[in-house]
Structure 1
Amino acid sequence: MADTAVDYYPPWGFYYKVEFSISKDRNDVRFQSVSGLSVEYDYDSFKEGGENRFEHKLPVRTKYADMVLKRGMLTESSVINWFLDAFRDRRFTPADLNVILMNEQGEPLRVWKVAHAIPKKWQVSDLNANDNAIVVETLELSYRYFTLQTGTG
């Protein structure tokens, strides 16, 4: 008889925080969505003389997607000041950040350690007198790479 007990449930994707190395403000860790934790390989194709069935594909380098963070707009934020320094004054100061997925007790389950992030785009949602919606700011970052840790390790 097969064991029908289930020992593992995947974690929920809504209990997380984003910690920036440039901010100690507790409001700067709250985002409604995080995307761009993605990595893939670029490949070079090589054709071999006399072999017409396929091309050799060799991995060349890893490529990381841009990270996109969305949240209700903050009127005071170290992270936004960091963005404005880049866009207004062309001061691009790299920062590290951690995206921390937590369990029910608030303990880290998985930590994505994002290295050398710099601002790429800042966008504020449309202001519309006919809508009853909060203002959402979208922060887009370019980064070098991320590493993955389980728990607090």
Structure 2
Amino acid sequence: MAQYYPPVGFYFKVNVIGITGQNEGSFQEVSGLNVKIGVDEVVEGGENRYVHRMPTRPKYENLVLKRGMLLGSPLITWATHNIEEFSFYPKTIVVNLMDEQSRPIATWKFINAYPVSIKISDLKAQDNAIVVETLELCFDYFDKVN
């Protein structure tokens, strides 16, 4: 019997196809699972009561991955190489939302993703915090698989 409940948003896994190794997919935050369709307004001659509003292509926000900094990370090595060499090798990224038995209950595939930004958190002597790296990726589109 199926149970209907809102899933929790804190148990998820990220897999970068061809890169992700042990601990590579452990992120503290994933954002950018958004798509929006724009509208073009078309004015018709002789019709003054309204304008036609036509849908345009979808626009996707960038995928943003945040985690504690990992030294020697193959994912960050790939991203740094892409940015520094300006030579892009897109990857497919899979984000799985997990249930309490570690089974995926929702999966999103990001197609042809490549890095556009790498950020390292500020280093502050007065804070007792880990260093956080943020990887921002652009992609063609995403599909919700299940």
Matched residue, 1:140: 136
SS at match of 1:28: coil
Letter in 2 for 1:90: F
Q: Tell me, which stretches of 5 or more residues in structure 1 are unaligned?
A: 1-6
Matched residue, 1:98: 94
Letter in 2 for 1:31: F
Deviations 1:64-116 (A, max 9, x none): 11111110000021110111111221121000010000110000100001100
Matched residue, 1:4: none
Letter in 2 for 1:22: G
* Count of aligned pairs: 144
CA–CA separation in structure 1 for the residues paired with 2:136 and 2:18:
16
Matched residue, 2:43: 47
RMSD: 1.1
Matches within 5 A, 1:18-57: 18-57=14-53
Greater mean alpha carbon deviation, residues 92-101 or residues 82-91: 82-91
> Structure 1 residue 133: deviation in Å?
0.3
TM-score under structure 2 length normalisation = 0.94
Q: Does 1:82 align with 2:65?
A: no
> Structure 1 residue 62: deviation in Å?
1.1
CA–CA separation in structure 2 for the residues paired with 1:24 and 1:72:
16
- What percentage of residue pairs aligned between the two structures are identical? 47
Q: Does 1:9 align with 2:5?
A: yes
Q: Quick check: 1:18–1:100 contact (8 Å CA) kept in 2?
A: yes
CA–CA separation in structure 2 for the residues paired with 1:145 and 1:55:
30
SS at match of 2:56: strand
Q: Quick check: 1:22–1:79 contact (8 Å CA) kept in 2?
A: no
